[in-house]
Each structure stands twice: as structure tokens, then as C-alpha cells.
Amino acid sequence: MKVIIAIVVIILLTILIVWLIDKFVPKKAKPIINVLLWVLIIFLGYKTYMSVYKEIQFNQLKVERYKVVIDQLIDIRDSQLAYKEVNGEYAGNFDKLVRFIDTAKVPITQRRDVTVLDEEATRRFGGVEMFKTEVVIDTLSYYSVKDSLFDGTNRYKTMMNLTVGDKSAKIKLKADKIDDIPVFEASIAKELILSDQEKYLIEKEKQVVSVDGVNGSMLKVGSLEEVNTTGNWPKNYIKSQ
């Protein structure tokens, strides 16, 4: 924005100079000077237009790339939730997570209440039969994590790889505990997603604080600082869900 304002100011000053020349410069010198100044005005106008156009293009590209990465982060989150359901904690690296998805079968259970003889209470009441209710969990069957989350495809094997921007980069995955409660965080820096774009646009994007934008310098899901499994993006960025 500062660049655009500066260019607009220069254009206005140039127009003022043209007017002053028209009023005070001798007629013989006017044509050459006027041509040079109008060339400068056209050039600065073009630079202003391109500055605005580049930002519009950047914002469109940014949204599309974020959607791709967010889909991958959602896959990672869903995989982590399935891992925790079986193991009671989150995977601290992708090797563990991928091996789990390859082989894991998650039980489908049913809870039911049953009435049974309470032997201790029966003894206390001199042989009078007393009963109590207990919760029984029955395992009905099992489902494949791979089939359930990924429809039998192998995309989970590459969900950690960045497929836009810096394609040599990978999403980072960490797991920990907060007061004995398992937490995880998967993240990737914006500058890696947008690595082939103008540096000043990337720096501006890293400073975003907005209700309809991705705040901060990275895309992430989960947190190592608080217990949550949400992402730091607004709903309009979600493509597949």
C-alpha cells in the first residue's frame, strides 16, 4: 500500500509539473519536456496498476494453495484422532502414523447395561439377594482406518509432503502432553507454501490478523500449548469438508 501511495503522489506531482511547464517554460522547450513527462506518467501508472494486479493474483494463488495444504492437515488430524482412539496418545512422527494407518483396525463397540448379583451387598444383608447395574462394552466388529479415512487410497503416505510452493519441504508433526492430556500439532510455514512469490507479499501475508484470513506465519492444526484439534484457518478455506 505504501508503494502505491508513493507512486500516486509522484504521478500527481508530475501532472503539476506539466502544468507549471505549460505556464512558465518557453514554447520551444515545451514539446520535448511534455513528452518526457507524459512518458513518466504512463510508466508510473503502469507500475501502479501492476502493483495492484500482482497483489490480486497473489491472493488468488494463496487461497488455492492454502486449500491444498489444509486438506492435507485435515487428513493428518483425522489420522491422529484414530491413532489416539487405539493407542491413547498421538503419534509423534509420520513414520508411526503411516504404519498405523497401514494396519490398524478400530473396534466398533456397543455399550449396554446389565443387572448382576452384588455378592458383597448380598453378604451384608444376610443372604438376601441384592443386584447392581454394570456397563458392558461389546465389540461388534472392526473397521480399517485406511479404508474409512482414505477410501482405500494411498494418499496418506504423502500427506506430509508439500505439493505446492517449495516441494522439497514437509509438514512438521509433533506430539506431547499437557497435564497428562495428549496433544499434537502439525504445521507448515507460509513462506514455504508461497516460496516462489514476491518476498514483500509473503512478508505481508505472514503479518495477517483477520477473521477471514489465516493468521500468523504458518498453517497448522492442533496445538502444543493448549488442548485442541482445530486448525487456524476460517471455514471458507476448507475445500473437501
Question: Distance between CA 202 and CA 208 in Å, rounded?
Answer: 10
> What does the pLDDT look like over 53-108, one tens digit per residue?
788 899 999 999 999 999 999 999 999 999 998 899 999 999 999 999 998 777 66
Q: Supply 66's cell numbers.
A: 492454502
> What does the pLDDT look like over 126-143, one tens digit per residue?
777 888 888 877 767 676
In this predicted structure, what is the pLDDT of residue 21? 67
Q: Higher model confidence: residue 238 or residue 123?
A: 123
Contact 208, 194 (CB under 8 A): no
Q: What is the average per-residue pLDDT within 110-128?
A: 80
Residues near 36 by Cβ (< 8 Å), separated by ≥ 6?
A: none
- Among 52-66, 129-143, 149-163, 202-216, which is the least confidently predicted range? 129-143
> What does the pLDDT look like over 163-201, one tens digit per residue?
999 999 999 999 999 999 999 999 999 999 999 999 989
Contact 72, 159 (CB under 8 A): yes
Tell me the pLDDT band of 241, cut-offs 50, 70 and 90.
Answer: very low
Q: Higher model confidence: residue 7 or residue 61?
A: 61
Burial class (CB in 10 A: 0-12, 13-18, 19+), 67: middle
Question: Distance between CA 4 and CA 239 in Å, rounded?
Answer: 33
Q: Supply 5's cell numbers.
A: 501511495
- Look-up: residue for cell 504404519? 99
Tell me the pLDDT band of 2, cut-offs 50, 70 and 90.
Answer: low
| Per-domain residue ranges of the chain | 2-53, 54-237
Question: Mean pLDDT across the chain, nearest whole number?
Answer: 85
In this predicted structure, what is the pLDDT of residue 238? 76
